[in-house]
A = this chain, B = another copy of it.
Protein backbone atom coordinates (compact mmCIF):
# COMPACT_ATOMS: atom_id res chain seq x y z
CA UNK A 1 0.00 0.00 0.00
CA UNK A 2 1.48 3.30 -1.11
CA UNK A 3 1.90 5.77 1.79
CA UNK A 4 0.94 9.12 0.26
CA UNK A 5 1.28 11.05 3.50
CA UNK A 6 4.89 9.95 3.98
CA UNK A 7 5.63 10.58 0.30
CA UNK A 8 4.29 14.14 0.42
CA UNK A 9 6.16 14.88 3.63
CA UNK A 10 9.49 13.63 2.28
CA UNK A 11 9.06 15.63 -0.90
CA UNK A 12 8.10 18.77 1.01
CA UNK A 13 11.31 18.47 3.01
CA UNK A 14 13.36 18.13 -0.17
CA UNK A 15 11.81 21.25 -1.66
CA UNK A 16 12.10 23.27 1.53
CA UNK A 17 15.78 22.36 1.89
CA UNK A 18 16.42 23.39 -1.72
CA UNK A 19 14.54 26.67 -1.27
CA UNK A 20 16.58 27.39 1.86
CA UNK A 21 19.79 27.05 -0.12
CA UNK A 22 18.62 29.82 -2.42
CA UNK A 23 19.42 32.33 0.27
CA UNK A 24 22.76 30.84 1.26
CA UNK A 25 24.48 31.90 -1.92
CA UNK A 26 22.98 35.35 -1.65
CA UNK A 27 25.16 38.38 -1.22
CA UNK A 28 24.61 40.18 2.07
CA UNK A 29 21.12 41.53 1.44
CA UNK A 30 19.46 41.02 4.79
CA UNK A 31 16.93 43.46 3.50
CA UNK A 32 13.25 44.04 4.06
CA UNK A 33 12.73 42.84 0.50
CA UNK A 34 14.35 39.46 1.08
CA UNK A 35 12.54 39.19 4.43
CA UNK A 36 9.22 39.70 2.65
CA UNK A 37 10.12 37.17 -0.05
CA UNK A 38 10.97 34.55 2.59
CA UNK A 39 7.96 35.40 4.75
CA UNK A 40 5.57 34.26 2.05
CA UNK A 41 7.74 31.48 0.70
CA UNK A 42 8.06 29.91 4.15
CA UNK A 43 4.42 30.36 5.18
CA UNK A 44 3.68 26.64 5.04
CA UNK A 45 2.53 25.95 1.50
CA UNK A 46 1.67 22.41 0.43
CA UNK A 47 4.40 22.54 -2.28
CA UNK A 48 1.97 20.86 -4.66
CA UNK A 49 3.60 22.11 -7.87
CA UNK A 50 7.17 21.09 -6.90
CA UNK A 51 5.90 17.70 -5.74
CA UNK A 52 4.07 17.13 -9.01
CA UNK A 53 7.22 18.13 -10.89
CA UNK A 54 9.36 15.64 -8.98
CA UNK A 55 6.74 12.89 -9.23
CA UNK A 56 6.57 13.43 -13.01
CA UNK A 57 10.33 13.02 -13.22
CA UNK A 58 10.12 9.77 -11.28
CA UNK A 59 7.26 8.55 -13.48
CA UNK A 60 9.59 8.69 -16.50
CA UNK A 61 12.53 7.16 -14.61
CA UNK A 62 14.25 10.43 -13.68
CA UNK A 63 15.37 11.62 -10.29
CA UNK A 64 14.58 14.43 -7.86
CA UNK A 65 17.97 15.97 -8.55
CA UNK A 66 17.19 16.31 -12.27
CA UNK A 67 14.29 18.63 -11.57
CA UNK A 68 14.81 20.25 -8.18
CA UNK A 69 15.62 23.68 -9.63
CA UNK A 70 12.49 23.63 -11.77
CA UNK A 71 10.51 22.52 -8.73
CA UNK A 72 11.82 25.50 -6.76
CA UNK A 73 11.07 27.91 -9.61
CA UNK A 74 7.47 26.69 -9.73
CA UNK A 75 7.00 27.34 -6.03
CA UNK A 76 8.61 30.79 -6.32
CA UNK A 77 6.14 31.67 -9.08
CA UNK A 78 3.17 30.23 -7.20
CA UNK A 79 4.16 32.25 -4.11
CA UNK A 80 4.50 35.49 -6.06
CA UNK A 81 1.04 34.96 -7.54
CA UNK A 82 -0.50 34.53 -4.09
CA UNK A 83 1.12 37.75 -2.82
CA UNK A 84 -0.15 39.78 -5.76
CA UNK A 85 -3.62 38.14 -5.74
CA UNK A 86 -4.04 39.09 -2.08
CA UNK A 87 -3.31 42.81 -2.69
CA UNK A 88 -6.02 45.37 -1.88
CA UNK A 89 -6.46 46.17 -5.58
CA UNK A 90 -7.05 42.47 -6.30
CA UNK A 91 -8.78 40.04 -3.90
CA UNK A 92 -7.97 42.20 -0.87
CA UNK A 93 -7.30 39.38 1.56
CA UNK A 94 -5.88 39.99 5.02
CA UNK A 95 -5.11 36.39 5.87
CA UNK A 96 -3.47 33.53 4.00
CA UNK A 97 -3.09 30.17 5.75
CA UNK A 98 -3.97 31.87 9.02
CA UNK A 99 -1.13 34.41 8.78
CA UNK A 100 -1.31 38.07 7.75
CA UNK A 101 -0.87 38.46 4.01
CA UNK A 102 2.30 40.14 2.75
CA UNK A 103 0.85 43.64 2.45
CA UNK A 104 -0.53 43.32 6.00
CA UNK A 105 2.69 41.95 7.51
CA UNK A 106 4.83 44.48 5.59
CA UNK A 107 3.13 47.09 3.40
CA UNK A 108 1.66 47.28 -0.05
CA UNK A 109 4.79 48.51 -1.85
CA UNK A 110 6.91 45.81 -0.24
CA UNK A 111 4.36 43.15 -1.18
CA UNK A 112 4.32 44.23 -4.82
CA UNK A 113 8.12 44.24 -4.94
CA UNK A 114 8.46 40.92 -3.11
CA UNK A 115 6.16 39.37 -5.71
CA UNK A 116 8.15 40.91 -8.56
CA UNK A 117 11.39 39.66 -7.06
CA UNK A 118 10.07 36.11 -6.50
CA UNK A 119 8.93 35.91 -10.12
CA UNK A 120 12.31 37.16 -11.33
CA UNK A 121 14.36 34.85 -9.14
CA UNK A 122 12.38 31.88 -10.49
CA UNK A 123 13.95 32.46 -13.89
CA UNK A 124 17.34 33.06 -12.30
CA UNK A 125 17.08 29.62 -10.69
CA UNK A 126 16.15 27.97 -13.99
CA UNK A 127 18.95 29.76 -15.85
CA UNK A 128 21.46 28.80 -13.15
CA UNK A 129 20.51 25.12 -13.42
CA UNK A 130 20.79 25.26 -17.21
CA UNK A 131 24.25 26.82 -17.05
CA UNK A 132 25.41 24.19 -14.61
CA UNK A 133 23.92 21.23 -16.48
CA UNK A 134 25.39 22.28 -19.80
CA UNK A 135 24.50 19.10 -21.66
CA UNK A 136 20.84 19.76 -20.95
CA UNK A 137 20.92 23.45 -21.85
CA UNK A 138 18.19 23.09 -24.47
CA UNK A 139 15.91 21.26 -22.07
CA UNK A 140 16.24 24.04 -19.53
CA UNK A 141 15.39 26.62 -22.18
CA UNK A 142 12.33 24.53 -23.03
CA UNK A 143 11.39 24.50 -19.34
CA UNK A 144 11.88 28.26 -19.05
CA UNK A 145 9.66 28.64 -22.09
CA UNK A 146 6.82 26.44 -20.93
CA UNK A 147 6.82 27.87 -17.41
CA UNK A 148 6.82 31.45 -18.75
CA UNK A 149 3.93 30.62 -21.10
CA UNK A 150 1.97 28.97 -18.30
CA UNK A 151 2.62 31.81 -15.84
CA UNK A 152 2.13 34.85 -18.06
CA UNK A 153 -0.45 36.50 -20.28
CA UNK A 154 -1.29 33.20 -21.94
CA UNK A 155 -1.72 31.45 -18.60
CA UNK A 156 -1.91 32.35 -14.93
CA UNK A 157 -1.85 36.17 -15.16
CA UNK A 158 -4.53 36.00 -17.85
CA UNK A 159 -6.57 33.75 -15.53
CA UNK A 160 -6.35 36.23 -12.67
CA UNK A 161 -7.43 39.00 -15.03
CA UNK A 162 -10.38 36.89 -16.22
CA UNK A 163 -11.28 36.20 -12.59
CA UNK A 164 -11.42 39.93 -11.84
CA UNK A 165 -13.41 40.85 -14.95
CA UNK A 166 -15.89 37.99 -14.70
CA UNK A 167 -17.29 39.21 -11.37
CA UNK A 168 -20.99 39.84 -11.63
CA UNK A 169 -21.22 38.49 -15.19
CA UNK A 170 -23.05 35.38 -16.35
CA UNK A 171 -20.75 32.67 -17.65
CA UNK A 172 -21.17 29.06 -18.70
CA UNK A 173 -19.54 26.15 -16.91
CA UNK A 174 -17.26 25.74 -19.97
CA UNK A 175 -16.08 29.33 -19.64
CA UNK A 176 -15.54 28.81 -15.93
CA UNK A 177 -13.35 25.75 -16.61
CA UNK A 178 -11.38 27.79 -19.12
CA UNK A 179 -10.86 30.46 -16.46
CA UNK A 180 -9.76 27.82 -13.94
CA UNK A 181 -7.41 26.28 -16.46
CA UNK A 182 -5.71 29.62 -17.02
CA UNK A 183 -5.66 30.58 -13.37
CA UNK A 184 -4.38 27.34 -11.81
CA UNK A 185 -4.40 24.53 -14.36
CA UNK A 186 -1.82 25.94 -16.74
CA UNK A 187 0.96 26.16 -14.14
CA UNK A 188 0.10 22.71 -12.80
CA UNK A 189 0.25 21.32 -16.33
CA UNK A 190 3.63 23.03 -16.78
CA UNK A 191 4.87 21.50 -13.50
CA UNK A 192 4.21 18.03 -14.85
CA UNK A 193 5.66 18.70 -18.28
CA UNK A 194 8.80 20.30 -16.86
CA UNK A 195 9.34 17.31 -14.57
CA UNK A 196 8.77 14.82 -17.36
CA UNK A 197 11.05 16.66 -19.77
CA UNK A 198 13.95 17.09 -17.34
CA UNK A 199 13.51 13.55 -16.04
CA UNK A 200 14.20 12.26 -19.54
CA UNK A 201 10.68 11.43 -20.71
CA UNK A 202 9.94 11.09 -24.41
CA UNK A 203 7.42 13.38 -26.12
CA UNK A 204 4.57 10.90 -25.66
CA UNK A 205 5.26 10.71 -21.92
CA UNK A 206 5.58 14.49 -21.58
CA UNK A 207 2.25 14.96 -23.36
CA UNK A 208 0.46 12.32 -21.26
CA UNK A 209 1.68 13.89 -18.02
CA UNK A 210 0.70 17.30 -19.32
CA UNK A 211 -2.85 16.04 -19.86
CA UNK A 212 -2.84 14.45 -16.41
CA UNK A 213 -1.88 17.87 -15.03
CA UNK A 214 -4.61 19.61 -16.99
CA UNK A 215 -7.25 17.28 -15.55
CA UNK A 216 -6.11 17.38 -11.94
CA UNK A 217 -5.74 21.17 -12.13
CA UNK A 218 -9.43 21.45 -12.92
CA UNK A 219 -10.36 18.72 -10.41
CA UNK A 220 -8.40 20.54 -7.73
CA UNK A 221 -10.29 23.78 -8.29
CA UNK A 222 -13.64 21.99 -8.37
CA UNK A 223 -12.83 20.15 -5.15
CA UNK A 224 -11.84 23.46 -3.52
CA UNK A 225 -15.15 24.98 -4.48
CA UNK A 226 -17.04 21.93 -3.19
CA UNK A 227 -15.18 22.13 0.12
CA UNK A 228 -16.12 25.78 0.35
CA UNK A 229 -19.77 24.68 0.35
CA UNK A 230 -19.69 21.61 2.57
CA UNK A 231 -16.28 21.44 4.23
CA UNK A 232 -15.72 21.72 7.98
CA UNK A 233 -14.46 25.19 8.94
CA UNK A 234 -12.17 23.72 11.62
CA UNK A 235 -10.43 21.65 8.92
CA UNK A 236 -10.24 24.40 6.31
CA UNK A 237 -8.95 27.15 8.60
CA UNK A 238 -11.42 29.54 6.98
CA UNK A 239 -15.17 30.04 7.03
CA UNK A 240 -17.35 27.77 4.92
CA UNK A 241 -19.72 29.42 2.42
CA UNK A 242 -17.45 32.42 1.75
CA UNK A 243 -17.77 31.93 -2.03
CA UNK A 244 -21.55 32.16 -1.80
CA UNK A 245 -21.33 35.18 0.49
CA UNK A 246 -19.10 36.91 -2.10
CA UNK A 247 -21.41 35.78 -4.94
CA UNK A 248 -18.42 34.08 -6.51
CA UNK A 249 -19.17 31.98 -9.57
CA UNK A 250 -18.01 28.41 -8.89
CA UNK A 251 -18.61 24.94 -10.30
CA UNK A 252 -21.16 24.13 -7.56
CA UNK A 253 -22.95 27.46 -8.06
CA UNK A 254 -23.27 26.88 -11.81
CA UNK A 255 -24.07 23.18 -12.11
CA UNK A 256 -25.08 22.28 -8.55
CA UNK A 257 -23.19 20.43 -5.84
CA UNK A 258 -24.00 16.91 -7.04
CA UNK A 259 -23.03 17.55 -10.66
CA UNK A 260 -19.88 19.28 -9.45
CA UNK A 261 -18.88 16.12 -7.60
CA UNK A 262 -19.59 14.02 -10.68
CA UNK A 263 -17.43 16.33 -12.78
CA UNK A 264 -14.56 16.24 -10.26
CA UNK A 265 -14.70 12.43 -10.27
CA UNK A 266 -14.70 12.38 -14.06
CA UNK A 267 -11.64 14.61 -14.23
CA UNK A 268 -9.75 12.41 -11.79
CA UNK A 269 -10.66 9.31 -13.83
CA UNK A 270 -9.32 10.94 -16.97
CA UNK A 271 -6.13 11.89 -15.12
CA UNK A 272 -5.68 8.29 -13.92
CA UNK A 273 -6.20 7.06 -17.48
CA UNK A 274 -3.12 9.05 -18.59
CA UNK A 275 -0.97 7.31 -15.98
CA UNK A 276 -1.46 3.79 -17.33
CA UNK A 277 1.61 3.88 -19.57
CA UNK A 278 3.82 4.55 -16.52
CA UNK A 279 2.84 1.41 -14.57
CA UNK A 280 4.09 1.29 -10.98
CA UNK A 281 6.15 4.45 -11.44
CA UNK A 282 2.94 6.43 -11.82
CA UNK A 283 1.62 5.36 -8.41
CA UNK A 284 2.46 8.57 -6.52
CA UNK A 285 0.72 10.66 -9.18
CA UNK A 286 -2.31 8.35 -9.05
CA UNK A 287 -2.48 8.68 -5.28
CA UNK A 288 -2.25 12.49 -5.55
CA UNK A 289 -5.07 12.57 -8.10
CA UNK A 290 -7.34 10.51 -5.85
CA UNK A 291 -6.42 12.56 -2.79
CA UNK A 292 -7.46 15.80 -4.50
CA UNK A 293 -11.13 14.84 -4.47
CA UNK A 294 -11.08 12.89 -1.21
CA UNK A 295 -9.36 15.44 1.03
CA UNK A 296 -11.30 17.35 3.66
CA UNK A 297 -9.13 20.50 3.74
Contact = CB atoms under 8 A, between A and B. Distances in A.
Contact of A131 (B34, B126, B145, B165): B145
A77 to B, nearest CB: 9
Given A84-B116, A137-B138, A138-B131, A154 B29 contact: yes
A171 interface: no
Contacts of A34: 153
Contact of A120 (B90, B127, B138, B153): B153
A105 interface: no
Contact of A124 (B80, B115, B148, B160): B148
Interface in A113-141: 113, 115-117, 119-121, 123-124, 126-128, 130-131, 134, 137-138, 140-141
Contacts of A152: 116-117, 120-121, 124
Given A89-B107, A138-B137, A141-B131, A158 B120 contact: no
B128 A145 contact: yes
A263 interface: no
A113 B153 CA distance: 9
Give the dominant DSSP class at A's interface: helix
A154 B113 contact: no
A151 B120 contact: yes
Contacts of A165: 32
B141 A120 contact: no
A87 to B, nearest CB: 7
Interface in A135-170: 137-138, 140-142, 144-145, 148-149, 151-154, 157-158, 160-162, 164-165
A94 interface: no
A56 interface: no
A26 interface: yes
A115 B113 CA distance: 11
A33 B158 contact: yes
A29 B162 CA distance: 11
A127 B107 contact: no
Contact of A117 (B26, B127, B157): B157
Identify which of A34, A126, A161 gathers the most chain B CB atoms within 10 Å of its CB.
A161
Interface of A: 26-27, 29, 31-34, 37, 80, 84, 87, 89-90, 107-110, 112-113, 115-117, 119-121, 123-124, 126-128, 130-131, 134, 137-138, 140-142, 144-145, 148-149, 151-154, 157-158, 160-162, 164-165
